């Protein structure tokens, strides 16, 4: 039995780029991957430094019922209603978590677990109720299929075909996230690091927090069809955690998420081509490999300590 296909560099690295059709198809997949990684990496860095990594998990699951209800209400898979539904559900999710925390003896982690599983269960049930007349299937929401990005309908603007709809939406959201974070970096930084100081200089701390949750919900729902609710958390958490092994300032970490996004996308794409598996999963595996490498190679790594220990003449 042959579990792992033979590694043939020509097939893995050159074949996907050998004909114009393949190049056109695969470059759309790659672009989608980059946009997902960049948007999630940026917003994820803030989520991680605020020690809210699990909030990403919670929001990504919590938006599901919003997406389905928007679909049912508008009867179409149009992006607008879906994004709106997702944002509303995401905000409802983060409000409920906060409310539970403040008005009941339940602790933060438990209230997150309660809220997001309830939301997610509601979403899954709604999907199942609708299976008869709807082409939205649970697998797609759970795992995503970035490889099918080029199948999204094209947008026509003033009679001209301007390209793939999914790519435009993701691109726009990525641009919004990156520019808002650059513009309001200072405000987001100070609210994340020291909410009391932020409050004392007159910043609307609560609103900024909700605004971050909104950006998180936006990036998550846009990434949903490519990487799915589960792996989107990997795209949120891995870039900044990996970068933080080498950089101790937030701006450097934020910048570092861009090359990491490129590494995840290309690495994942070719890994998936080799193993013939889901590209999203392969991207997450690449992210894991990068993380382990960073863990081993970072300046304070345990590996160096072992090496130094062996070299030391006193032992």
Partner 1 sequence: MKPQGLPIEVHDLTVSYQKKPVLYGVDLEIAEGSLVGILGPNGAGKSTLIKTIMNMIKPNGGYVKIFGDAPQKGIKRIGYIPQKESVDWDFPVTVSDVVLMGRYGHHGWLSRIGQEDRNKASECLEQVNMLAYADRPIGNLSGGQQQRVFLARALAQESEVYLMDEPFAGVDAVTEKTMISILREMQKSGKTLMVVHHDLASAKEYFDQLLLLNMRKVAYGSVPEVFTHELLQKTYGGKLAVLSEMATKVAKAS
- Say whether residue 202 binds partner 1 (CB under 8 A): yes
Instruction: Please name which of 194, 272, 189, 162 lies closest in space to residue 227, comparing C-alpha atoms.
Output: 272
For the chain, give the longest Cα–Cα distance.
78
Q: Which of 134, 189, 262, 295 binds partner 1 (CB under 8 A)?
A: 189
Q: Interacting stretch for partner 1, rule CB under 8 A, among 160-168, 240-248, 272-280, 287-295?
A: 240-248
In the three-class reduction of DSSP (H, G, I as helix; E, B as strand; rest coil), residue 7 is classed as coil
Instruction: Mark out the alpha helices in 130-194 (DSSP H runs).
Output: 138-143, 165-183, 185-193
- Say whether residue 155 binds partner 1 (CB under 8 A): no
Select 161 or 196, whichever has its Cβ closest to partner 1.
196
Residue 271 CB partners (closer than 8 Å, separation 6+): 277, 282, 285, 286
Alpha-carbon distance 51 to 55, whole Å?
9
**Contacting partner 1 within 39-78 (CB under 8 A):** 49, 51
Q: Which of 13, 95, 193, 302 binds partner 1 (CB under 8 A)?
A: 193
- Residue 247 C-beta: closest distance to partner 1, Å: 7
- Say whether residue 196 binds partner 1 (CB under 8 A): yes
Residue 38 CB partners (closer than 8 Å, separation 6+): 174, 178, 257, 258, 261
- Say whether residue 176 binds partner 1 (CB under 8 A): no
- Say whether residue 107 binds partner 1 (CB under 8 A): no
Give the containing element (helix H, strand E) for 164: strand 160-164
- Say whether residue 249 binds partner 1 (CB under 8 A): yes
Q: Which of 40, 244, 278, 286 binds partner 1 (CB under 8 A)?
A: 244
Q: Which of 19, 80, 186, 255 binds partner 1 (CB under 8 A)?
A: 186
- Say whether residue 309 binds partner 1 (CB under 8 A): no
Q: Which of 197, 277, 292, 306 binds partner 1 (CB under 8 A)?
A: 197
**Contacting partner 1 within 250-289 (CB under 8 A):** 250, 253
Region of residue 228 (left: phi > 0; alpha: psi -120 to 50; beta: else): left
Alpha-carbon distance 163 to 169, whole Å?
11
Q: How far is CA 190 from CA 164, 187, 237, 240, in A?
A: 38, 5, 21, 18
Select 133 or 249, whichever has its Cβ closest to partner 1.
249
| Binding residues for partner 1 (CB under 8 A) | 49, 51, 183-184, 186-187, 189-190, 192-194, 196-197, 199-202, 244, 247-250, 253
């Amino acid at each position: 039995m042959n579990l792992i296909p033979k590694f043939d560099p020509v097939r893995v690295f050159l074949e996907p780029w050998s004909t114009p059709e393949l190049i056109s198809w695969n470059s759309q997949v790659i672009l989608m991957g980059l946009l997902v990684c960049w948007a999630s990496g940026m917003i994820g860095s803030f989520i991680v430094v605020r020690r809210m990594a699990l909030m990403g998990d919670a929001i990504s699951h919590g938006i599901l019922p919003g997406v389905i209800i928007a679909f049912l209400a508008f009867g179409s898979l149009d992006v607008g209603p879906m994004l709106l539904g997702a944002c509303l559900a995401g905000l409802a999710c983060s409000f409920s978590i906060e409310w539970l925390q403040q008005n009941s003896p339940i602790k933060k982690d438990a209230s997150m677990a309660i809220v997001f599983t309830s939301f997610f269960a509601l979403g899954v049930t709604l999907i199942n109720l609708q299976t008869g007349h709807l082409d939205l299937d649970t697998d797609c929401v759970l795992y995503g299929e970035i490889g099918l990005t080029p199948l999204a309908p094209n947008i026509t603007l003033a009679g001209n075909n301007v390209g793939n709809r999914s790519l435009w939406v993701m691109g726009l959201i990525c641009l919004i996230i990156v520019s808002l974070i650059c513009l309001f970096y200072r405000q987001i930084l100070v609210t994340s690091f020291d909410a009391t100081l932020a409050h004392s200089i007159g910043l609307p701390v609560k609103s900024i927090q909700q605004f971050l949750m909104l950006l998180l919900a936006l990036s998550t729902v846009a990434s949903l069809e490519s990487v799915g609710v589960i792996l989107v958390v990997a795209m949120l958490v891995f870039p900044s955690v990996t970068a933080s092994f080498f950089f101790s300032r937030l701006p450097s970490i934020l910048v570092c998420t861009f090359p990491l996004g490129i590494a995840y996308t290309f690495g994942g794409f070719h890994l998936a081509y080799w193993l013939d598996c889901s590209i999203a999963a392969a991207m997450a595996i690449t992210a894991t490999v990068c993380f382990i490498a960073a863990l081993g190679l970072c300046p304070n790594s345990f590996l160096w300590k072992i090496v130094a220990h062996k070299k030391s003449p006193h032992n």
